[in-house]
Chains A and B, each alone.
Chain A
Amino acid sequence: MGTRFELVLANDRDEHELRSAGESALEVIRDWHDRLSIFDRGSLVSRINREAHEKPVRIDRDMLDLFSACERWRAMTDGAFDIAVGSLMEHFGFRDTGATENVPPFGMDLVEIDADAMTVRFTEPGVKLDFGAVAKGWAIDRALDVLREEGVTSALLHGGTSTVGVIGSDRDGEPWRVRIEDDEHAPVALLRDASLSVSAPSGRLNERQEGHVIDPREGKPSAGARLAAVIAVYSAETDALSTALVVLGERPGSIPGDVVSILPAQGSTPGGWAAAGDAAGRVIVSDSGSDQEGQHAS
């Protein structure tokens, strides 16, 4: 997935037991990297991108679950989240292949998932999947599952600092505190058995200084929010929805109330933030220097 994952295990348990549990969790992340990486020619996704227009490509139950979840988030965000934007990422010069001249076909409307036959097929040549907006979160969820199975009750795992999932509380019994931006006035997420993702187009820019978050509805780099953060139970959900919120620029009514979103406040002073959803006790938003939990919850 082209990024670094770090794991903190804070349990009061035998160090050797924790090490082996941590190794198993990181092994799961490597395994998902091997399947989802678009940079690895041998990955399943690379194979799908290479062959799925010519013939249906087999997938396993794990992958079917991932496709199903992605389709749920696509529907929830009215198409602002879409994994079939790989061709656009290339077109706009966000991949090593370099920018392409003509706008290629894109979007999940051109992808057929056959849940009975367990296959995926593209209806047009040139379509490409790119799980970059959800892969880290999905892998973190599966790794945290392994840690829970092994009895770990306190852990923090992040991928590239943009998505973090935690088990339980920190070693002092307090929620894990994660600031959403490298700015002392930025909101702080309070995580207990929860996840946080932050998306920002400026994380990577192409030669035209366009951000790497694609608006799948328009087929071009997003002109929405400069940053979006989401807190929810699962990392895959926060990963996908934070990307969608960057595209949308505002929170749609279709997102469930237990999902907390944090966006730059419209019309407020620079540095203002608006948290929405059941934010009480889950985020500290500070505009004036005095922190207040869930100050902007709505």
Chain B
Amino acid sequence: MNNRREFLVKTAGGLAAAAVLPELGFVKLPDPRAGLRVGVIGAGRQGRSILGELTKIEGAEVTAVCDVDDRRMEAGLRRSAGAEGFADVAAMLASGKVDAVAIAVPTHAHPEVARQCIEAGVHVFLDGPLANTVEGCNEIVTAARSAKGVVASGLQGRSNPVYKLARTFYRSDSVRDLVALRAQQNQKTSWRTPASDPARDKALNWRLDPEVTTGLAGEWGTQQFDVFNWYTERYPVKVSGSGSIRLHKDGRTVHDTIACTLTYEDGAVLQYQATLANSYEGAYEVLYGTNAAIKLGWSHGWMFKESDAPTQGWEVYANRQQFHNDEGITLIADATKLASQGKLKEGIGLPNPSLYYALGDFVACATTGETPACVVEEAARATAIGIAAHKAITTGTEQSIDL
């Protein structure tokens, strides 16, 4: 927060930035003819989502799909136009068919697969949390420092157009001094992949394996913790929490419901909760300030102003949504232009999922050599927070966060 005052001085009239941000829409590379050849490693649910989004990005061509599981590889190949299948990462890298890889293997396998790919000199996109241990994170960060290509983290908030726009408001005087932070992720789902035999079950259901999982705090929370890190440019210093199994009493020991409290050095608090037992309100993050609160819902963003907050003019033209007793101003780039075209409907959101923009940023950076929106150093910090939160929840003891 201390740096924000300084920022305000440097960006007088910062709110006007909302009107000059690039139009929301579809990723186009500087030179679509460049044709980045991408291999997707891991063709499970997330890998197939990556394949689907890559198909939409001009300049990216999926040339390889790699998975040790035959059924998954076949499903992945069906999401591509003529890619070659590989059961082994080394063989795929040695084939010379890829300039870049998107890694969507289980989190605990990230360090080994990422190291192989970085050493092979290809550009690397690493989905989700960086690793399941701090040591694993450090391993990747060290390897990335000597990488020939771009190494990007798949923490998606930093490339999400709504989040980028909302951050300009947060970094201006619209929110003013931070009061508190809150986030949740609720989905009613078992987190279990059906598997007919025990070996396959262990491989596919690694998120429910207490030996390797970082639970809801690590697997889901990390994405959201990074949003707060990015917005506030600060990190929590300690975390406490608890968890339980509220719905999925199928023999699992990994909690299906958690809550934790992350505390910052100045006493500010981030409350986080996640559950697999209820889907109400899904996933969002809220930053409460003395002038306004900003709520981020991945495809949408809103600002809720306090009645004593100064009027800044632009609100007059803004699209609004009612949330019980509160009125939210929709944060979307080009709102005025969209309204004039009759396209600004209530709750208008991003046309693509966050993953699309994260991949688009990666492909663009791999093509131009620019720095990706989320570098592995930042991903390592967010992941370490998720790991500490998981440990606090599973052990019932407060954990200090040393980044």
Given the interface pairs A16-B250, A42-B352, A58-B55, the reply to whether A24 lies near B194 with Cβ below 8 Å is yes
A118 interface residue (CB < 8 Å to B): yes
B78 is an interface residue with CB less than 8 A from chain A: yes
B-side contacts of A118, CB under 8 Å: 81-82
User: What string of 1s and 0s marks CB contacts (under 8 Å) between B336-357 and chain A?
Assistant: 0000000000000011110010
Across the interface, which residues of A come within 8 angstroms of B353, CB to CB? 42
The interface of chain B, by Cβ under 8 A from chain A, is 26, 45, 48, 51-52, 55-56, 71, 77-82, 189-190, 192-194, 196, 248, 250, 350-353, 356
Contact call B194/A59, Cβ cutoff below 8 A: no
**B77 contacts across to A, CB distance below 8 A:** 61
B-side contacts of A34, CB under 8 Å: 52
Instruction: A86 to B356: give the CA distance in the assembly, Å.
Output: 26
A35 to B350, CA, bound (A): 16
Tell me the residues in window 17-50 of chain A with beta carbons closer than 8 Å to chain B beta carbons: 17, 19-21, 23-24, 27, 31, 34-35, 40-42, 44, 47
Is the CB–CB distance between A151 and B196 below 8 Å?
Answer: yes
Q: How far is the CA of A24 from the CA of B204 in the complex (A)?
A: 13
| Nearest-Cβ distance from residue B51 to partner chain A, whole angstroms | 8
Size category, A interface:
20 to 34
Q: A149, B80: Cβ atoms under 8 Å? A: no
17 A-B residue pairs with Cβ-Cβ distance under 8 Å, sorted by A, are A14-B250, A16-B192, A16-B248, A20-B192, A20-B193, A20-B194, A21-B194, A31-B48, A42-B56, A44-B56, A59-B81, A60-B51, A60-B55, A60-B79, A61-B79, A62-B79, A118-B81
Q: A35 and B194: CB pair below 8 A?
A: no
Pair A19/B190 contact, Cβ less than 8 Å: yes
A contact face: mostly helix, strand, loop, or mixed: helix
With both chains docked as a complex, state the minimum distance between the C-beta of A236 and any C-beta of chain B, in angstroms.
16
| Nearest 5 pairs of A and B residues by beta carbon | A118-B81, A41-B351, A16-B250, A42-B352, A20-B192
B52 touches A42 (CB 8 A): no
Q: Which of A14, A20, A27, A60 touches B45 (beta carbons < 8 Å)? A: A27
- Known A31-B52, A42-B353; judge A62-B193 contact (CB<8 A): no
List, in ascending order, chain A residues with CB within 8 A of B196's CB: 150-151
Docked Cα-Cα span, A40 to B26, in Å, equals 13
What B residues does A61 contact at CB under 8 A?
77-81
| Min C-beta distance of A62 to chain B, whole Å | 5
Which residues of B sit under 8 angstroms from A21, Cβ to Cβ? Answer: 194
CB distance from B110 to the nearest CB of A (A): 23
